[in-house]
Structure 1
Amino acid sequence: MSEPLMPSYNPGASAEPSILAPVRPKQVRWAVLLIIAAAVFQIIAAVLGIVHTGSAEFRSQLTSQLAQQNIPDSGQDIVGISIGVALATIIVISALAVIVYVIIALFINKGAGWARITAAVLAAVSLFSLAGLTMPAAIFVVLQLLSGIAAVVLCFIKPGSQYFTDRKNFRLANKVH
């Protein structure tokens, strides 16, 4: 006959976390919403940029710029090619920006410190987007920039900053070796 297995006592192993998970403050929720708003402003600015790039006014400006640069006529539609490149650039950069915004928002929501730092760096770099703005997309670029900066500020002041510290400590305390 086999003996019944007896439960063993192991004080080192516990299914309970050693510290409680921190509660996400409203401030971080607002930061996430502001980052999502920045993504929406990016989409609106991209649509307006696409409309502007396809306009007769843009074609005329591009034609005069190319004429000023004394670019020889090679038999190709340089203006058409330039417009196509500009449209592709707007679409690709905008799609990547929206994807980055969503990823950062998701990880800020989870309390990932790297997302907060990445958002701060991207907010600083995005200040360069203020150069060469054209209306009406400029309004949405400024709104996008302000939303991103406000979100970053909310993540770096208390209680947001404390939430990121608490999340880091929670992850470290519950890390399985």
Structure 2
Amino acid sequence: MDTPPRVPGLGTFLDKNTGTPKPPTPQLVTVASRLLLLAAVVQVVASVIAVVYAASPARLDAIQLQIDAMTGSTPSLAMMRNLGILTVVISGIATITAYVLFALFLAKGRSWARVAAGVLALLTVMQLLGITLPEGLTTVAQIVLGAVAVGLCYLPGPNHFFATVKAARS
């Protein structure tokens, strides 16, 4: 019988030692994971608002002004509108997937998930440029939820949990 191929880094996602008991997940880590899932729900709302705006007459007027200012070969209004909607949908799906993935692995005790969630929260801060209210409240909510979730993971109890899970996997 052949042994399965060794994939470098796969242990980050899979448990190597299934016989080693995993310590119970602290309540603060569970709360942090749920906060990230709530941030994913907020991203769904933000994406719906962005798609509605991208298809609105006001946005079409702004796109037409940009097209009128172009020289040479110009794209069509419909193509530019559809490209904007597609960009919003794809970036929304990617962000929602990231929040859910990080929340699930955070609950499993993966240290990389809390670092990645922190990076995602920092990237969300960049969305504050050009923010308009009340639509921008979703961005502010995501920043707060992400920051609180990451902050909870670095408290002494959760920090010990992540270290214990890492030691148990080795």
So what's the TM-score if we normalise by structure 2? 0.81
Cα distance per residue 1:48-90 (max 9 Å; x no partner): 00001111111112222343xx31375752x221111110000
Cross-structure match for 2:70: 71
Q: Do the aligned partners of residues 62 and 134 (structure 1) sit closer, same or farther apart at CA in structure 2, a change above 3 Å counting?
A: farther
State the secondary structure of the residue aligned to 1:60.
Answer: helix
**For residues 8-157 of structure 1, what are the structure 2 equivalents within 5 Å?**
17=20, 21-67=22-68, 70-72=69-71, 74=73, 77=76, 79-157=77-155
Q: 1:159 aligns with which of 157, 160, 163?
A: 157
Give every structure 1 segment of 4 or more consecutive aligned residues whose post-TM-superposition deviation is greater than 4 Å. Answer: 73-76
Change (3 A) 1:33 1:93: same
Going from structure 1 to structure 2, the CA distance change for 1:86 and 1:166 (only over 3 Å counts) comes to same
8 Å contact from structure 2 (residues 50, 88) kept in 1: yes
Q: Does the C-alpha gap of structure 1 residues 43 and 169 become closer, same or farther in structure 2, counting only changes over 3 Å? A: same
One-letter code aligned to 2:127: S
Aligned residues: 153
Bigger mean CA offset, 127-136 vs 52-61: 127-136
Is the CA contact 1:45–1:140 (under 8 Å) kept in the aligned structure 2? Answer: yes
Report % sequence identity. 29
- Cα distance in 2, alignment partners of residues 74 and 161 from structure 1: 57
What 5-or-longer segments of structure 1 have no aligned partner? 1-14, 173-177
Once residues 23 and 76 of structure 1 are traced to their aligned partners in structure 2, the CA distance between those partners, rounded to angstroms, is 57
Separation in structure 2 between the aligned mates of residue 38 and residue 114 of structure 1, nearest angstrom? 18
1:82-129 per-position Cα deviation (integer Å, ceiling 9, x unaligned)? 111110000001101111111111100000111111111222222111
TM norm structure 1:
0.78
Where in structure 2 are there 5+ consecutive unaligned residues?
1-17
- More displaced stretch, 127-136 vs 138-147: 127-136
**Looking at CA atoms only, which structure, 1 or 2, has the larger radius of gyration?**
1
CA distance in 1, matches of 2:81, 2:154: 41
2:111 & 2:60 partners in 1: Cα distance?
45
